[in-house]
């Protein structure tokens, strides 16, 4: 029983959130904040694979989010919504309920394929040069999508709300909340499984010493490819959720500032710490909402926080430890390793 306590508590918590959303106990604003928490958790923990566990410095994470957002939005809108360019829905809108997770996953898969753009150069280069490549990829993706007139170019793309309403017509429950929670759980599960497996230890080995890892029979190129693709694929999933929660995307919402947000979350939580990523994503989302009235000053305060963090506690909140290492009594309930 003790072994499953944390899972049961977690499941109950998720159910409680969904029920609260269903019966209108929390208003739409709070719901959207909760959904953004989920999306930010996916973003920060997926970037943590590359920036934390593998010790690289990728600063173009929003590019993959952008790809995922656009791909999944285009799929759902073409299939289930009335659109000026793509015409009438191809499938009956009621089927959106079953296709939604598939569309979001498809966005993730395409984003993972775009991740190869970064992964291949990373075989030869490390550190600063790779950082440049990620930035260049971020600009390239945004610029490329701005030049695709068929999906709205720089005006953005909309119509996802119709799909969400169509799902609500089938069964009236907060669908996007459920998908976001499922996506978050899936991300955490897959990352945790990956980095605590023997196979995934190769990534930590690359972080410690690439040459030594190569000698100890870690296939470094393959590990890098897997890590980059997993990271960017999950970012694509986050992007798909983001697009459907907001109902409107435009390329400029995935610029360097968004990538910076992801980086802030990773370094705030601590590199190579999954629970740290989750914790910092939650805190960061709340912080963003709290600073919203300050408008532009928000973007002075957030970098300032990170600068001070680097000066006084560079390892972040948890820093290479998990919650169960900081509070050993939690080990009774869950083991990370």
* Contacts with another protein, residue ranges (CB under 8 A): 57, 59, 117, 120-121, 124-125, 127-129, 131-133, 135-137, 139-140, 143-144, 146-147, 211-212, 256-257, 260, 263, 267, 296-297, 299-300, 302-304, 306-307, 310-311, 314
Closer to another protein by Cβ: residue 21 or 119: 119
- CA–CA dist 243, 116 (Å, integer): 23
In terms of Cα–Cα distance, which of 211, 210, 212, 206 is closest to 227? 206
Residue 78 CB, nearest approach to another protein (Å): 24
In terms of Cα–Cα distance, which of 31, 32, 65 is closest to 47? 65
Residue 272 CB, nearest approach to another protein (Å): 12
Residue 318 CB, nearest approach to another protein (Å): 16
Residue 321 CB, nearest approach to another protein (Å): 17
C-alpha dihedral sign at 101, 103, 107, 108: positive
In terms of Cα–Cα distance, which of 86, 47, 80, 97 is closest to 234? 47
Contact 175, 164 (CB under 8 A): yes
Tokens coding 227 = 């890590």
Closer to another protein by Cβ: residue 190 or 309: 309
- CA–CA dist 260, 247 (Å, integer): 23
Closer to another protein by Cβ: residue 221 or 324: 221
Contact 274, 48 (CB under 8 A): yes
Residue 111 CB, nearest approach to another protein (Å): 18
Closer to another protein by Cβ: residue 103 or 141: 141
What are φ and ψ of residue 143, in 5° steps?
Answer: -65, -40
Closer to another protein by Cβ: residue 4 or 129: 129
Query: Would you tell me how many other CB atoms lie within 10 Å of the CB of residue 67?
Result: 28
Residue 154 CB, nearest approach to another protein (Å): 8
Label residue 27 exposed, middle or buried (CB < 10 Å: 0-12, 13-18, 19+).
exposed
Residue 226 CB, nearest approach to another protein (Å): 20
Closer to another protein by Cβ: residue 109 or 140: 140
User: Which CA distances in Å does 127 have to 58, 130, 133, 215, 324?
Assistant: 9, 5, 10, 21, 31
Instruction: Give residue for tokens 């191809």.
Output: 90
Residue 307 CB, nearest approach to another protein (Å): 5
- CA–CA dist 132, 152 (Å, integer): 28
Query: Would you tell me how many other CB atoms lie within 10 Å of the CB of residue 180?
Result: 27
Closer to another protein by Cβ: residue 146 or 325: 146
Closer to another protein by Cβ: residue 20 or 132: 132
């Amino acid at each position: 029983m003790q072994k499953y306590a944390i899972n049961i508590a977690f499941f109950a918590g998720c159910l409680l959130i969904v029920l609260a959303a269903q019966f209108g106990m929390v208003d739409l604003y709070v719901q959207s904040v909760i959904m953004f928490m989920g999306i930010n958790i996916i973003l920060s923990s997926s970037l943590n694979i590359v920036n934390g566990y593998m010790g690289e410095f990728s600063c173009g994470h929003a590019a993959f989010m952008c790809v995922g957002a656009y791909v999944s939005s285009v799929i759902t809108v073409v299939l289930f919504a009335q659109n000026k360019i793509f015409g009438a829905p191809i499938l009956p809108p009621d089927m959106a309920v079953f296709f939604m997770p598939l569309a979001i996953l498809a966005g993730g898969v395409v984003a993972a394929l775009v991740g190869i753009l970064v992964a291949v150069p990373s075989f030869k280069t490390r550190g600063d040069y790779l950082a440049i490549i990620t930035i260049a990829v971020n600009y390239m993706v945004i610029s490329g999508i701005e030049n695709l007139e068929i999906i709205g170019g720089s005006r953005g793309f909309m119509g996802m709300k119709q799909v969400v309403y169509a799902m609500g017509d089938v069964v009236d429950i907060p669908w996007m909340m459920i998908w976001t929670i499922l996506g978050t759980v899936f991300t955490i599960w897959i990352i945790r499984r990956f980095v605590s497996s023997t196979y995934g230890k190769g990534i930590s080995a690359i972080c410690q010493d690439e040459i030594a890892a190569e000698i100890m029979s870690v296939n470094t190129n393959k590990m890098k490819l897997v890590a980059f693709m997993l990271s960017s694929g999950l970012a694509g999933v986050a992007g798909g959720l983001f697009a459907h929660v907001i109902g409107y995307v435009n390329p400029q919402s995935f610029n360097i500032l968004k990538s910076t947000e992801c980086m802030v979350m990773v370094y705030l939580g601590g590199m190579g710490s999954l629970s740290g990523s989750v914790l910092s994503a939650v805190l960061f989302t709340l912080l963003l909402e709290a600073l919203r009235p300050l408008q532009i000053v928000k973007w002075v305060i957030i970098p300032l926080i990170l600068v001070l963090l680097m000066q006084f506690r560079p390892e972040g909140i948890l820093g290479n430890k998990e919650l169960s290492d900081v509070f050993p009594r939690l080990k009774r309930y869950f083991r990370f390793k």
